[in-house]
Amino acid sequence: MRLKLVFSYDGSAFLGSASQPHLNSVQNALSAALAHLGIFSPVLFASRTDKGVHALRAVACVECGEHFKNLVYLKNQLNRFAHPFIHIKNIERVSENYAVRFDVRAREYRYIFHHGEFNPFLSRYVCFSERFDIKRANELLGHFVGEKDFKFFQKAGGSAKTSVRIMFFAQAYTHKNLSVFQFRANGFLRAQIRLSVASVMAVLRGELSEDKLKEQIEAKKCHYRFLAPANGLYLSRIIY
């Protein structure tokens, strides 16, 4: 039978989510946890994240024998081996036609800024920053919304056939001592969000003009190629 796993992970413990020869990846760790329970089928992920990027509700699927009838028990046993850096939130049976990657309609990410005093115990999970104009940030993020060619917002090495994506929304909001950038699109290019966040912050700091940001979003000219730190980025939701 085919199972869908919804899980979170601490990206600071891994060198990325996709399986790698050195084995220190989320996919390798999850496969090892499943192997302890006698499940050796390949684990397929709905989305990939880079080194240091976290996930709140990642999705994967795996084939296993029909004898795993109690999925709550399976989840609890799997967490014994997946903890402390991966936590399985839910397991459900899906149809044999379920395609964990290609059935996705949208992916959602959040980037988290912390405006308090630097704390080494939080430094892997937020980007420490001085406060900024959240209204102005929303104005700039609005330029990303719509169907656009984001060719100047991708890191080299990606395998995407096209750089055109539909951004459903890009917005900013505050919560207590945090500011959050939230993005939802039908898909993202490699490092697209980190490049987008960094370029918006460059405009807010006065290092880049809004006109140049718009030129880059409109795929006319590349002006800014710096990445926001990975530790503030979270894969927050995958929508089917």
Euclidean distance between CA atoms 29 and 71, whole angstroms:
20
50, 103, 133, 149: the catalytic one is 50
Is 149 designated active site?
no
How far is Cα 221 from Cα 152, in angstroms, rounded to an integer? Answer: 8
Query: 202 is written with which tokens?
Result: 């460059």
The helix or strand, by DSSP H or E, that contains position 134, with its residue range, turns out to be helix 134-141
Bridge partners of 6?
Answer: 59, 90
Q: Name the residue among 138, 15, 14 with its Cα closest to residue 84.
A: 14
Residue 109 assigned to a binding site: yes
Angle between helices 26-35 and 71-82 (to 10 degrees): 120
Exposure on the CB side of residue 4, measured as CA atoms within 13 A: 19
Catalytic residues: 50
Q: Which residues are annotated as a binding site?
A: 109
Please state the residue numbers annotated as binding site for substrate.
109
